[in-house]
Chain A
């Protein structure tokens, strides 16, 4: 590594103040700090610092996302073949791994476009503001493809990423300053700007033109949402659960956005996040609790297949688990106080199921719920902080 170190040392003067390439210093710094933790030392105060920095933290989130990503690649390929053949019972290794190849063909370009567009914009803002690349987008860039339908056109992902990075983050001041979750901003943008590419029966499986007759390509929740229309696909909850069993939904053997279908993979990610303390266990557990409570409430009300769907199934379907584990826990946009996190998560889960069931135009209520709670998080924190202040003021009176 002496060799690399020499290169960095040799290049440094060119990018330093007064050097030929001074303007490009942020780019140089970004790459140099990727290869080497810089030689910065403390000046005073705490002379030693914890071994963890933001790069390490973000890297851990990416590791936690990997199971969902890998399963997403497989599942995308799986449903592409299902759509082509009409046969849901294909084995894992069907056609010498054709599923995985097909999945890679869909997912890799999405990941490349998302990172390519996002990082380019981040670098441009870094050059303008004179700072190196901040790490936030390393996670957002992977989250964005995972919450896209398989069939979304690449250019849309590019536009959505650009919108999310510029409007969702950079105009607020970059990493650590944004109000809304960047990845969800991208998805919400597409949802409202290009609704036909983000919902309906034809977007969840790549290569739909080969779809066999009589095969509906909608997601599980999409099918269920028709229960509020005159022509429901599932007249009762039984016919629905027969098609999408608890086990299928848990493993993720259902159509949906690329990375969100497998609750199991999300839970593996959750375990990594909670054990490393990167993700807040308060938010994750209270989010699930909130969703479960609302599920029970709606069961009690009943009325149609959507209301009757058992609360457990509700938690396993759609992007609920993915949202709870990877979206709601974004520390910048979530509530920041310990008590606030519990309230934030619980209300988020509650709202997600409520929106999903009561407004079938949004079968994906999780996105709406989390974005809404992002906006509400500062208010929740405000009340927690006020309670803390009052508690300390009370001390004077009782003393």
Chain B
């Protein structure tokens, strides 16, 4: 019953700095952090005081409103600081890495004989639950719901994205264990969707107990949101859970070794990185040692994640919980003279999905070095149809965005807010001539929906 989907809308943004397929161990970080902001809507309740010793897999904080959901320390060390912002909101929990880091096996867990509830309890206790996210609303899954399906994308199509076929090559056992565990959590199917454009690694191709689908097309073909919409769309009242492919392997690793080990392979990418390649790091690791000496210019933006949905971090910042990628691009905080670089320029050096710049006509397959300049000021929506061209859903993107901006709950429900996550609108935000922060508006809309309708 596998499905094959072709999408025609979308956009591949060609950037300089694709990671070469070389993998190294990253230098050991001095600190790791967990940022509650990575888990939208979670209000952390600390379980330790500053200065306490913590061990690998020990819970650091839990969700105040759903105490079963725990967030575990990825390392042995000391809880160094709880960074707080306005109204004492916790921004970041920093753990200094101390002592021996032992990830050796404690013995496999016999998950084959467990039922869904037992697996769920194990995952919650081990701090694995935050890897499971739910649609609608795009938040950490509520363990009390039953999903109608679980979706896993076997590739990432966003700009400069890591190649999962390379990253998970040879991790067949961990990945398969993860799939087996996840399939106990749903009464429906587990969907694994492969990229139709390239042959998949055996890790994915030979996966068992799941429905393997194929999707052809440009970004956002690799987004689970796109895949869900075309394979098994969400209607009001239904839940679908999604797990990132690397996180499936992390879950599987726990059940095979009995130890929480959130190590992942990230791609260090972007035009300002010397020799972009892959590194093995632990989730939340401090990146200052890794980035030292690899950034080629002064004024850069370091992004944990990809350029469309990632988070801006400091040069000595920490990797996000879910991110498989770090991107470094130039900052665009300079005035750009109208005729050479500004709005009247020929535009051979700028990438655009419109056809107003020469690059759209004569650019060929050129890769671009893009900075963070907005290339214009914010305006009301004027141009129509441009969002539709990069939004492969049977949903009207501008109408939905407008409903979200005006907090029109009925409008959002009718127009399909339950099927989308902010990341699905990342390309819309990118192409928007009026420079509106559409992902933000969609998130606002989702927050209202969660409060009023869930």
Contact = CB atoms under 8 A, between A and B. Distances in A.
Interface of A: 1, 4-5, 8, 33-57, 59-60, 132, 134-136, 173-177, 275-278, 280, 331-332, 334, 336-338, 341, 385, 388-389, 391-392, 395-396, 399
Nearest to B389: A277
25 contacts: A36-B336, A37-B335, A37-B336, A37-B375, A41-B333, A45-B440, A46-B307, A47-B372, A48-B308, A48-B370, A49-B374, A50-B433, A51-B347, A51-B352, A52-B352, A52-B354, A52-B376, A54-B377, A56-B343, A176-B434, A334-B384, A336-B385, A385-B396, A388-B396, A392-B233
A35 B338 contact: yes
Contact of B380 (A50, A51, A175): A175
A174 B379 CA distance: 10
B382 A51 contact: no
Interface of B: 13, 15, 159, 233, 235, 301, 303, 307-312, 327, 329, 331-338, 340-344, 347, 350-357, 359, 370-377, 379-386, 388, 394-396, 398-399, 414-416, 422, 426-427, 429-435, 437-440
Of the candidates A4, A49, A53, A396, the one having the most CB atoms from chain B within 10 angstroms of its own CB is: A49
Contact of A48 (B372, B376, B440): B372
Contacts of A276: 354-356
Given A46-B439, A47-B303, A341-B385, 9 more contacts: A36-B335, A47-B310, A49-B373, A53-B435, A57-B354, A177-B380, A332-B382, A385-B396, A399-B235
Nearest to B305: A47
A39 B371 CA distance: 11
Contacts of B312: 43-44, 47
B212 to A, nearest CB: 21
Contacts of B350: 51
A54 B416 CA distance: 28
B331 A41 contact: yes
Nearest to A5: B335
Nearest to B440: A45
B338 A49 contact: no
Given A45-B422, A59-B344, A50 B354 contact: yes
Contact of A47 (B301, B376, B422): B301
A111 B116 CA distance: 74
B356 A56 contact: yes
Contacts of A332: 382
A50 B332 contact: no
B338 A337 contact: no
Contacts of A395: 233, 235
Nearest to B301: A47
B380 A174 contact: yes
Contacts of B352: 50-52
B354 A134 contact: no
Contacts of A132: 377
B35 to A, nearest CB: 13
A216 to B, nearest CB: 42
A39 B334 contact: yes
B375 A53 contact: yes
A206 to B, nearest CB: 33
Contact of A53 (B332, B377, B437): B377
Name the 6 nearest CB pairs between A and B, nearest first.
A53-B376, A176-B380, A51-B350, A37-B342, A36-B335, A45-B439
Contacts of B343: 37, 53, 55-56, 59
Query: How would you classify the secondary structure of chain B's contact residues: helix, strand, loop or mixed?
Result: loop
Of the candidates B381, B385, B426, the one having the most CB atoms from chain A within 10 angstroms of its own CB is: B385
A38 B355 CA distance: 22
B109 to A, nearest CB: 36
B355 A277 contact: yes
B304 to A, nearest CB: 11
B85 to A, nearest CB: 15
A44 B379 contact: no
Contacts of A275: 355
B375 A52 contact: yes
A46 B426 contact: yes
A179 to B, nearest CB: 13
A35 B398 contact: no
Contacts of A173: 380
Given A5-B335, A47-B307, A41 B373 contact: yes
A286 to B, nearest CB: 14
B395 A36 contact: no
Of the candidates B301, B357, B371, B382, the one having the most CB atoms from chain A within 10 angstroms of its own CB is: B382
A177 B381 CA distance: 8
Of the candidates A54, A278, A337, the one having the most CB atoms from chain B within 10 angstroms of its own CB is: A54
B379 A336 contact: no
A8 to B, nearest CB: 7
A275 B356 CA distance: 9
Contacts of B351: 50-51
Given A132-B377, A136-B382, A388-B396, A45 B437 contact: yes
Contacts of B159: 48
A270 B433 CA distance: 21
Given A56-B356, A278-B356, A41 B374 contact: yes
Contacts of B233: 392, 395
Contact of B433 (A4, A48, A54): A54
Nearest to A52: B354
Of the candidates A38, A135, A173, the one having the most CB atoms from chain B within 10 angstroms of its own CB is: A38
Contact of B416 (A33, A35, A55, A392): A392
A392 B394 CA distance: 8
Contacts of A8: 335
Of the candidates B233, B307, B343, B388, the one having the most CB atoms from chain A within 10 angstroms of its own CB is: B343
Contacts of B307: 46-48
A57 B374 contact: no
Nearest to B380: A176
A101 to B, nearest CB: 29
Of the candidates A1, A52, A389, the one having the most CB atoms from chain B within 10 angstroms of its own CB is: A52
B380 A385 contact: no
A35 B337 contact: yes
B372 A336 contact: no
B432 A41 contact: no
A385 B429 CA distance: 21
Nearest to B236: A396
Of the candidates A35, A51, A395, the one having the most CB atoms from chain B within 10 angstroms of its own CB is: A51
A103 B177 CA distance: 80
Nearest to A1: B337
B354 A39 contact: no
B399 to A, nearest CB: 6
Contacts of A37: 335-336, 338, 341-343, 373, 375-376
B323 to A, nearest CB: 13
Nearest to A40: B374
